[in-house]
Amino acid sequence: MSETLNRSVTFADVEAAAERLAGHAVVTPLIESPALNARIGARVLIKPETLQRVGAFKFRGAYNRLVQLSPDERKRGVVAYSSGNHAQGVALAAKLLGTPARIVMPADAPAIKMAATKAYGAQIELFDRLTESREQIAAAISAETGAVTVPSFDDPHIIAGQGTVGLEMVRQAQALGAEFDQLLSPVGGGGLLGGITLAVRALSPRTTLWGVEPTDFEDLRLSLEAGRRTAIKPFRRSLCDALESAVTGELTFPILQANLAGALAITDPEVAEAMRYAFETLKLVVEPGGAVGLAALLTGKLKVQPGQTVGLVLSGGNVDPELFAQVIKGEV
Amino acid sequence: MSETLNRSVTFADVEAAAERLAGHAVVTPLIESPALNARIGARVLIKPETLQRVGAFKFRGAYNRLVQLSPDERKRGVVAYSSGNHAQGVALAAKLLGTPARIVMPADAPAIKMAATKAYGAQIELFDRLTESREQIAAAISAETGAVTVPSFDDPHIIAGQGTVGLEMVRQAQALGAEFDQLLSPVGGGGLLGGITLAVRALSPRTTLWGVEPTDFEDLRLSLEAGRRTAIKPFRRSLCDALESAVTGELTFPILQANLAGALAITDPEVAEAMRYAFETLKLVVEPGGAVGLAALLTGKLKVQPGQTVGLVLSGGNVDPELFAQVIKGEV
């Protein structure tokens, strides 16, 4: 643990991750909707990580971490805890690399995420969100089997892997002759946004960066305001199962603190409205946590000057059909 | 009418259409899903025309036709009949070009298609599918107002515009170092597939081309077998509202006859299964008629050799939320 946290993560790590991911992760396209552009009055370049392997960006970081395991570590396997997308990313990366994976998941995780994690061959250990500690369960597995713990965000290799999203976005925008005035991404623990920040700061210093989190899970906003990592005590569930983190990471917070313009907060009804917009107009399946950036645009919570170019990350699309059906019918 | 039909349509027309569409239509990406590749045992390169303006390829042909109206014709406006996607394509192209559009639509067209057509500013004339003739209604409007009739497929400019889908696909595949062994596309009247065929035959002569239509709407298969255009008498509705054509076009049939390997037929349950796969695995919203090619792959109705490269067109994503909810919940 301390070994991991003792070293910082840099843009060079993101570049190295991109080389490791080449041919393994999908280079998702950067797409554009004239209808969305017209509605926002700006050019919105969308990075649909919904089209990534496992339906979310999480494969990038997981593969970048697991491909660097030593031969001995590969034999012992990995253990991770996650409500779903990191679980799938680790499970698929482990399958591709031939290493056993054990995943600690809450018993109420979305069924689609649990089924996919199982389908990739991982062994799932369920826990009760209210009475058990996933950290303790994972630590016990690691102690018993020697498995390497793969954190969901606070790890330099994970952050560097997720950062390839930002690297691709800047280069794809350049290929269109564009540069981002602003860029916004969902944020939970900060692995994705931290990695993106490293890439964007290096390649496009003038871009303003924003994190978007669910209301009542505004640990990033509180931390930025306090000037130090500040945990929240969740008192409700969010529609955004992927963004219910209680505190930004030790490694990710300094990166975010030094580079973000701020954090925006989105309510559940605003998320549902953004998912409907993605269904009706963009024709994309986006999960609640993946749609908060789009919601920040549609609600006007992100202030956009006419004619600006805005980068938008749709981070995942793993949503149960029952919930998606309710959302598109306007019942949520 | 005869003026239109008297001249053939060629690859040069597709190239000219691409120039007219540049900056107006979306260059949709060519995307790839490792999960789909693994399932099919081949490399499937997907063209999601769901991401096109109006959510379907139809904008391409409509814009290519309308941008060539004379100043006098633009003043008089256009009239078209369509169950929905051509309607939206004509309505949006007319709005962009500042010409009035009147669209004849069946009263039972999907609500999402009707609402979007209205939102683009077109005037909608509803008709009863069982008792009225849309051709007569459109002809009466044209006679009264001088509006130019915009056919949904049997027109060289429409075919050439839709053909830009194929032109982009071949070039995008080349950029990946790939060439299509086979390519399959939904087919109704044959505007899309005819246009694609012109482009693919010119640029990639060895590619085998297939049309995919709903069972009981197999006018293309019957026509290919008979060696001449053969109409069907529909005795039921198809889930694929966009593919209920009774007969392949006068202009499109000779192109298809000379170049296709054949036509495949897909049942409603197979279409629904493909839509679920697109939701769960590809994270794309695809309407029934847009998913028949995917269904041909998933069912094994298209024979694919291991390691082949297959081009797949997802032609549209305009589906009512109620139907989509039923499909993803497995109720259809």
Q: What is the pLDDT of residues B203-245, one digit of tens each?
A: 999 999 999 999 999 999 999 999 999 999 999 999 999 999 8
What is the per-residue pLDDT for A2?
39
Whether residue B241 contacts residue B129, with contact meaning beta carbons closer than 8 Å, is answered with no
Check residues B54 and B4 and name the one with the higher pLDDT. Answer: B54
**Is the pLDDT reported for residue B1 higher than 70?**
no
Residues B187-192: what's their mean pLDDT? 97
* Nearest neighbour of B283 by CB, restricted to A50, A322, A329: A50
pLDDT recorded at residue A101 = 97
**pLDDT value of position B7:** 64
DSSP-based three-state secondary structure for A227: coil
Residue type, A204: S
pLDDT of residue A133: 87
**DSSP 8-state code for residue A284:** B
Write the DSSP string, A18-85: HHHHTTTS-----EE-HHHHHHHTSEEEEEEGGGSGGGBTHHHHHHHHHTT--HHHHHH-EEEE-SSH
Q: Is the pLDDT of residue B6 over 80?
A: no
A55 neighbourhood in chain B, CB within 8 Å = 281, 283
Tell me the HSE value of A108 on the side-chain side, using a 13 A CA sphere: 9
| Identity of the residue in A33, A53, A283 whose CB atom sits nearest the CB atom of B285 | A283
Interface residues on B facing A, Cβ-Cβ cutoff 8 A: 26, 28-29, 31-35, 48, 50-51, 53, 55, 112, 276, 279-286, 317, 321-322, 324-326, 328-330
pLDDT, residue A245, reads 87
Nearest by CB to B283, from A285, A325, A328: name it.
A285
Q: Is B58:B316 a contact under the CB 8 Å cutoff?
A: yes
Q: Spell out the residues 6+ positions from residue A54 whose beta carbon is closer than 8 angstroms to its own.
A: A85, A88, A89, A91, A92, A116, A120, A318
What H or E segment, with its residue span, contains residue B125? Answer: strand B123-127
**Structure ipTM:** 0.95
- What pLDDT score does B4 carry? 45
Interface of A with B (CB under 8 A): 26, 28-29, 31-35, 48, 50-51, 53, 55, 112, 276, 279-286, 317, 321-322, 324-326, 328-330
* Residue A44: other Cβ atoms inside 10 A: 23
The answer to whether A280 contacts B324, with C-beta atoms less than 8 Å apart, is no
Q: Do A283 and B48 touch (CB under 8 A)?
A: yes
Query: Residue type at B289?
Result: G
Q: Which amino acid is residue A289, in one-letter code?
A: G
Cβ neighbours of B48 in A, within 8 Å: 283
DSSP letter at A147 equals: P
Please tell me the distance from the alpha carbon of residue B137 to that of residue B153, in angstroms, as a whole number.
18
DSSP string, A190-203: SHHHHHHHHHHHHH
For A137, the enclosing helix (H) or strand (E) is helix A134-145
User: How confident is the model at residue A130, as a pLDDT?
Assistant: 83
CB contact under 8 A, A34 and B26: yes
The answer for residues whose C-beta is within 8 angstroms of residue A287's C-beta and 6 or more apart is: A50, A56, A241, A242, A275, A316, A317, A318, A319
Choose among A32, A112, A329: nearest Cβ to B325: A329
For the cut 70, the answer to whether the pLDDT of residue B136 exceeds it is yes
Rounded to whole angstroms, how far apart are CA atoms B198 and B93?
Answer: 23
A35 contact residues in B (CB cutoff 8 A): 53
Q: Would you call A289 helix, strand, or coil by DSSP?
A: helix
Strands B43-48 and B31-32: antiparallel
Instruction: Give the closest-approach CA distance of A330 to chain B in angstroms.
Output: 9
Count of H-run helices and E-run strands, chain A: 15, 10
Which of A43, A114, A281, A283 has the most B C-beta neighbours within 10 Å, making it the best mutation to test the interface with B? A283
In this complex, do B29 and A31 lie within 8 Å of one another by their Cβ atoms?
Answer: yes
Is A53's CB within 8 Å of B31's CB? Answer: no
Q: What is the rounded distance in angstroms from the CA atom of residue B13 to the CA atom of residue B226?
A: 29
- Is the pTM for the entire model greater than 0.90? yes
- CA dist., res. B315 & res. A246, Å (int): 43
Label residues A50-76 b or e (16+ Cβ within 10 Å = b).
Answer: bbbbbbbbbbbbbbbbbbebeeeebeb
Q: Which residues contact A84 (CB under 8 A, 6 or more apart)?
A: A105, A109, A110, A113, A114, A117, A241, A242, A318
User: How many residues are present in chain A?
Assistant: 332
Bridge partners (DSSP) listed for residue B210:
B184, B262
Under 8 Å between Cβ of A192 and A166: no
| pLDDT mean by block of 10 residues, chain A; 332 residues | 60 98 98 97 98 98 98 97 92 97 93 92 91 90 95 96 98 98 97 98 98 97 97 93 92 97 98 98 98 98 97 98 98 95
For residues B260 and B280, give the distance between their C-alpha atoms in angstroms, rounded to a whole number.
31
Measured CA to CA in angstroms, residue B257 lies from B106, B191, B247 at distances of 30, 13, 13
Are B185 and B313 spatial neighbours (Cβ–Cβ below 8 Å)? yes
H runs (alpha helix) in A252-304: 252-259, 268-277, 292-298
Q: What is the pLDDT of residues B62-103, one digit of tens each?
A: 999 999 999 999 999 999 998 889 999 999 999 999 999 999
Interface contact flag, B51 A283, Cβ < 8 Å: yes
The answer to whether residue B313 scores a pLDDT higher than 50 is yes
The amino acid sitting at B64 is N
State the pLDDT at residue B8: 87
A·B CB contacts under 8 A: 76
**Residue A105: strand, helix, or coil:** strand
**Cα separation, A239 vs A258, whole angstroms:** 29
Task: Report residue B309 as tokens.
Answer: 């490269």
pLDDT attached to residue B135:
87
| Yes or no, beta carbons of B285 and A285 under 8 Å apart | yes
Q: What is the mean pLDDT of chain B?
A: 95
SS3 content of chain A, % helix, strand, coil (to 5): 50, 15, 35
Residue A38: exposure state from Cβ atoms within 10 A (0-12, 13-18, ≥19): exposed
- Sheet arrangement for strand B123-127: B123-127, B101-106, B78-81, B148-149
Helix (H) or strand (E) holding B255, with range, is helix B252-259
Nearest CA in chain B to A316: B283
